[in-house]
Amino acid sequence: MAERGRVLAKCRIKQILIAKLVRIQHPGVRSQKSEFRGYLVD
* 1: in domain: no
Contacts of 29 (CB under 8 A, 6+ apart): 22
* 27: in domain: yes
* 26: in domain: yes
Q: Give the pLDDT score at 5.
A: 86
Q: Give the pLDDT score at 18.
A: 85
Q: Report the distance separating Cα 27 and Cα 9, nearest Å.
A: 26
Contacts from 10-19 at CB under 8 Å and sequence distance 24+?
14/40, 15/40
* 20: in domain: yes
* 19: in domain: yes
Q: Give the pLDDT score at 37.
A: 61
Q: Report the distance separating Cα 20 and Cα 13, nearest Å.
A: 11
Q: Give the pLDDT score at 28.
A: 57
Residue 22's domain spans which residues?
6-41
Residue 12's alpha-carbon distances to 28, 41, in angstroms, are 22, 11
**Statement: the pTM of the whole predicted model exceeds 0.85:** no
Q: Which residues of the chain have pLDDT under 70?
A: 1, 25-42
